[in-house]
């Protein structure tokens, strides 16, 4: 049984991308933390990061057999309509995660086209948000 951990554009450079906003943890650090969180349940993590929306759509479609998903769409939260359509068809619960507090930032970041489909959203807590999303899915699945 595996959990899909999906990260969108620019998240592959975490740790060096605007650390004052996104922190110093790398994506590999986050992936390892999520794996530790779900390991007691016997789950593994399928981690996919891509800067291309089409590749993320394919990842969702290719992982219908996962137990659930944690999705950080990055900027695709604002206009990722094909990703939204893919997640609308995803048959498992999923949680949207953002490292920064979207509502403390620019106005254009204040609305996600994906969030209405999600089990929930966690934003502004940094890397721990991914672990909290994993805990929520452990409770729900």
Catalytic positions are 22, 98
| Of residues 59, 124, 120, the one with CA closest to residue 90 | 59
Question: From the CB of residue 75, how many other CB atoms can be counted at a distance below 10 Å?
Answer: 13
Cite the DSSP H helix spans in 1-141.
Answer: 19-22, 27-38, 53-62, 76-79, 81-89, 128-140
């Amino acid at each position: 049984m595996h959990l899909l951990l999906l990260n969108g554009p620019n998240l592959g450079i975490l740790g060096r991308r605007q650390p004052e906003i996104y922190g110093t943890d790398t994506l590999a650090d986050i992936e390892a933390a999520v794996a530790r969180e779900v390991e007691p349940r016997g789950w593994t993590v399928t981690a996919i990061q891509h800067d291309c929306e089409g590749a993320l759509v394919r990842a969702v479609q290719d992982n219908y057999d996962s137990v659930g998903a944690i999705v950080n769409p990055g900027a695709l939260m604002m206009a990722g309509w094909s990703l939204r359509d893919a997640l609308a068809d995803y048959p498992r619960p999923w949680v949207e995660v953002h490292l920064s507090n979207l509502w403390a930032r620019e106005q254009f970041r204040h609305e996600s086209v994906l969030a209405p489909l999600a089990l929930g959203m966690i934003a502004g807590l940094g890397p721990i948000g991914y672990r909290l999303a994993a805990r929520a899915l452990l409770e729900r699945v």
